Amino acid sequence: MPAGGISVHAVDVARGRVAEGLAVRIDRVMPNGERITIAEGHIGANGTLDHPVAGGAGVEEGEHEVLMHVGEFHAATGVTAPPFLDVVPFRFRVFDVAQHYHLPIKFTPFGLSVWRGA
């Protein structure tokens, strides 16, 4: 695991596979509420967001928020259940830019779990 950075790894546990195609955005949230997007893209075939932010690009101490477009993802994968989750935010604090913040995400059409992994 690289030193510094924010990495996102997403798994669609309802289908038992990585969430390839899930749209993800990472914002830095300023004290005045302004948001600065530091990463944006889609989860790849390996289950991760391939972006320079994983190596530390754009990461600073302070609040960050990951926005996961799970409603759009499920619609694209043919889920026929009524939509429950849409854009799901996860806000966290970077307190040391030398540390790596790995965010594993597991989700279904009806729930989501995210935490700081190793």
**pLDDT digit string, tens, across residues 24-42:** 999 999 999 999 999 999 9
Q: CATH no. for residue 65?
A: 2.60.40.180
As a whole number of Å, the end-to-end CA separation of the chain is 8
Give the pLDDT confidence score for residue 79 in this predicted structure.
85
Give the pTM: 0.93
Domain that holds residue 59: 6-114
Q: How many domains does the chain have?
A: 1
Give the pLDDT confidence score for residue 3 in this predicted structure.
67
For residue 25, being part of any structural domain is answered with yes
SS3 for 73? Answer: helix
What contacts 65, CB < 8 A, 6 or more positions away? 26, 27, 29, 35, 89, 90, 91, 92
pLDDT tens-digit readout, 58-80: 999 999 999 999 999 999 998 88
For residue 1, being part of any structural domain is answered with no
For residue 46, being part of any structural domain is answered with yes
For residue 56, being part of any structural domain is answered with yes
| In the predicted structure, residue 1 carries a pLDDT above the cut 50 | no
